[in-house]
Amino acid sequence: MLAYILRRIALMIPTIFGIMLITFAIIQFAPGGPVERVLAQLQGQQEGSLSRITGGQGDLGGGTARSGGGGGGDTSKYRGAQGLDPAFIKKLEAQFGFDKPAYERFGKMLWDYLRFDFGRSYFRDVSVLDLIKEKLPVSISLGLWMTLISYAISIPLGIRKAVADGSRFDVWTSAVVIVGYAIPSFLFGILLVILFAGGSFLQIFPLRGLTSENFESLSLWGKALDYAWHLVLPLSALVLGAFATSTLLTKNSFLDEIRKQYVVTARMKGVSERRVLYGHVFRNAMLIVIAGFPGAFITAFFTGSLLIETIFSLDGLGLLSFSSIVGRDYPVVFATLYIFSLLGLAVNLLSDLTYTWIDPRIDFSSRGA
């Protein structure tokens, strides 16, 4: 098993390299960029000021930018550079690192990322690592609790539906599950806001953040309640879709196992139904459910929570990544991609190790991959 784990860790290196290389190459050909964003702000096309973005550096002030505003800027490769001093454009490129060849920038990025040095945000006066640490609690709260709650509900429900397959209970719960799966989580989130967060009816739950303003002054029990109270609505919206998917997955997996010969044989020998179900079927049926855990967790941790973070004003990694992509804040974009790629690969490895814990007959170490 140790050899298998080491092989999997070794395979993570080319996988991460490929992900970063492809993304870096795409970024090179994507329209727009941090330089274009600054130039657009200079031309009055976006809000903000150059002094805020460039950290107030004197050599990039408006006077320098406009000097020599003849035809030199007209041949620039950047839109919006007309009339600007070419020397200013070069200084701007140097500030963002674009004065170096692409391969050199990519190599430096990889070397820095191996040491978890993600640099500083282009448009925020803070290091990328500090920025990610600031947003991480929100994403962990949403991803972890959503996954745990959805599995805690869907596994027992899926087992009950499999045992009562075709019954009235199975039919009406299937209808509820299908409706839940069909409703987008963000749409359900908006409905919850309207009904319970002061939208048009009741003001029961808070609308924004994970904690109240007086959180620090609360007792330990009060902090726990305040934290849970803030999570009720966003988690309810997130659990809806995940709960439906994992319920049907659990039911179908149990149905496949219940119909197999070893279950029929165990029942003929007089083994109790509970022992058949949880002593024999459960271990085999749960393998496919566990296989879906990494994808469910990563989805909830990142992409699945993006719209929910926006609706409930939760400033997490999903919203940070999206806003960084839109704003061309490349250090944040690449750092979050790198971290989520590592996280996804690590969770997949953990999933395989959980396979062997549930069913010791599975031996990954005897395989060549």
- 324 lies in a domain? yes
Residue 299 has pLDDT above 70, yes or no: no
27 part of a folded domain:
no
Do 79 and 193 have their domain in common?
no
Q: Which among 95, 115, 146 is the end of a domain? A: 95
- Residue 184 belongs to a domain: yes
Asked if residue 123 belongs to a domain, the reply is: no
The candidate with the shortest Cα–Cα distance to 256, out of 275, 278, 234, 281, is 281
Q: Quick one: 213 and 316 in the same domain? A: yes
Same domain, 54 and 164: no
The answer to whether residue 173 is domain-embedded is: yes
Answer whether residue 26 is part of any domain.
Answer: no
State residue 77 phi and psi, 5-degree precision. -80, -5
Looking at the fold, whether 138 and 191 belong to one and the same domain comes out as yes
Residue 114 falls inside a structural domain: no
Other Cβ atoms less than 10 A from the Cβ of 196: the count is: 17
| Residue 329 clears pLDDT 70, i.e. is over it | yes
Q: Torsions phi, psi of 177, nearest 5?
A: -65, -45
User: Average pLDDT over the chain, rounded to whole?
Assistant: 78
Q: What is the pLDDT of residue 176?
A: 87
> Looking at 47-51, 151-155, 200-204, 323-327, which range is the least confident one?
47-51
| pLDDT greater at residue 289 or residue 175 | 175
Interval 124-138: pLDDT, tens: 878 898 988 888 888
Say yes or no: 145 and 288 in one domain.
yes
Give the whole-angstrom CA distance, residue 3 versus residue 8. Answer: 9
Q: Has residue 59 got a pLDDT over 50?
A: no
The domain total for the chain is: 2
Q: What is the percentage of the chain residues whose pLDDT exceeds 90?
A: 5
Question: Domain residues for 54?
Answer: 36-95
Whether residues 342 and 256 share a domain: the answer is yes
* pLDDT tens per residue across span 144-174: 888 888 888 888 898 889 888 889 999 999 8
In this predicted structure, the answer to whether residue 48 has a pLDDT above a threshold of 50 is no
Using 50, 70 and 90 to split pLDDT, how confident is the model at 18?
Answer: very high
**pTM (2 d.p.):** 0.70
230 and 333 in a single domain? The answer is yes
Q: Using CA atoms, how far apart are residues 70 and 290, in angstroms rounded to an integer?
A: 65
The pLDDT tens digits of the residues spanning 240-263 come to: 777 787 888 888 888 888 888 888
pLDDT at 17: 92
Dihedrals phi, psi of 203, to nearest 5 degrees: -115, 80
Based on the fold, state whether residues 221 and 352 are members of the same structural domain.
yes
Residue 327's domain is classified under what CATH number?
1.10.3720.10
- Is 171 found in the same domain as 77? no
Higher pLDDT, 50 or 268: 268
Residue 110 lies in a domain: no
Residue that terminates a domain, selected from 95, 112, 145? 95
Mean pLDDT, range 342-353, rounded to an integer: 80
Q: Tens of pLDDT along 204-241?
A: 888 777 888 888 888 889 888 988 888 888 888 888 77
**C-alpha to C-alpha distance for 145 and 316, rounded to whole angstroms:** 15
214 and 141 fall within a common domain:
yes
Length of the chain: 369
Write down the pLDDT at residue 365: 59
Average pLDDT over residues 177-185: 84
Looking at residue 111, its pLDDT comes to 92
Q: Are residues 184 and 330 in the same domain?
A: yes
Residues 79, 136, single domain; the answer is no
Q: Which residues contact 192 (CB under 8 A, 6 or more apart)?
A: 205, 233, 236, 237
Residue 337 has pLDDT above 50, yes or no: yes
**Which of 41-50, 125-134, 175-184, 273-282 has the lowest average pLDDT?**
41-50
Are the CB atoms for 293 and 88 separated by under 8 Å?
no
